[in-house]
A and B are shown apart, each in its own frame.
Chain A
Amino acid sequence: MNESARHTSNDQAPGDDERDASGSIGAYTAGLAFALLLTGASFMVAQTHLLWAPGLPVGLAVLAVAQMGVHLVFFLHIGSDPDNTNTVLALAFGVLIVTLVVSGSLWIMANLNENMLPPAAIMEMQR
């Protein structure tokens, strides 16, 4: 079976690029430019006082999520066209699980921390 011939079904795999080759070099270059811009912004924001200090984590998170989006679209070619539905659905499920694991762990551990007795009080109870 010669797979290099264009298939006729409506599926598209992650990493697939339907554009012609010269177009995809342009896409990779654009992706690199965006990624460099966002990385530069992250480093600048972290090392200067451009952002209000307590808002820094949020700012860095926004820049990081934006850069991940750039990588997904320009490097992994995950698009919004209907052919990509399976890929995007799997990605959405992955994002859901990652969010649950990270935010759930932080929430539970913060709660445990708050409700834990200080070591001195435990010693007191054991006496």
Chain B
Amino acid sequence: MTSLAAPADAAGVPQPMEAGGGGPAPVRIVVSYGFWIFLLSDIIMFSALFATYAVLSGRINGGPSGHDLFDLRSVAIETMCLLLSSYTCGLGAVFMERRRLRGFYWFFALTFLLGGIFLGLELREFASMVARGAGPSRSAFLSAFFSLVGLHGAHVTVGLVWLAFMVAQVAARGPRDFVLRRLRCFSLFWHALDIIWVALMSLVYLMGAR
């Protein structure tokens, strides 16, 4: 006879299972792991757009190519902003773990500022491209470019809104467990955006500007 219950020894006393011993994982672990799965699925969605861009990047239909359009100095500043904002977000989380709220507020304000500068530079780049007649409808290359880079920009926008909400929540509710869990998820999200930007910067800008 097989039983789905925990295995018992000869005396019928239940023994802990080999795997998953110690009972269910704490909420903190489950929430972070679930969010990690979401991030991976988000990255898979991005990979489809990366594949589209890689296929279409040469299809400029007589229009401007990446070499004519991309300004690497602006891309370098954007990369700096995002990288530093990831760093300040990490430091803010460390200060939160130590319950030093002043440090947390400062570093998250800095994160918001750097993310805002990134978004402003990206919007300026998009506006100047559209003004030069290189909008998303010009060629397959530009359609793919705007969807890929625009989706990343949309993620950064959502991240900034989320960041503002989290700071407000910390101010209103204090460093409670559920606030800390949400903050952890936010940090994961923000760092993951940086990873996607690394791929974007290399594939789209550095390879395209040659």
Contacts and interface: CB of A to CB of B under 8 A. Distances in A.
Contacts of B194: 71, 75
B191 to A, nearest CB: 4
B21 to A, nearest CB: 8
Given A42-B201, A97-B44, A11 B206 contact: no
Nearest to B97: A21
Nearest to A72: B195
Interface residues of A, number: 55
B90 A13 contact: no
A12 B90 CA distance: 18
A1 B32 CA distance: 17
Given A11-B29, A42-B201, A94 B44 contact: yes
Contacts of A71: 86, 191, 194-195, 198
A7 B27 CA distance: 11
B27 A3 contact: yes
Nearest to A108: B55
A88 B31 CA distance: 16
A105 B52 contact: yes
Contacts of A67: 198
B77 to A, nearest CB: 11
B94 A28 contact: yes
B202 A64 contact: yes
Contact of A28 (B29, B48, B87, B195): B87
Contacts, number: 155
Nearest to A104: B51
A109 B54 CA distance: 10
Nearest to B75: A43
Interface stretch (B4-12, B35-43, B114-122, B146-154): B35-43
Given A43-B206, A105-B51, A24 B94 contact: yes
Contacts of B55: 105-106, 109
A98 B184 CA distance: 25
Given A9-B22, A42-B201, A71-B194, A14 B83 contact: no
B44 A13 contact: no
Contacts of A47: 72
Nearest to B87: A32
Interface of B: 21-23, 25-33, 35-37, 40-41, 43-44, 47-48, 50-52, 54-55, 72, 76, 79, 83-84, 86-87, 90-91, 94, 97-98, 177, 180-181, 184, 187-188, 191-192, 194-195, 198-199, 201-203, 206-207, 209-210
12 contacts: A3-B27, A9-B23, A13-B29, A13-B31, A13-B32, A21-B94, A28-B91, A42-B201, A56-B210, A71-B198, A105-B48, A106-B55
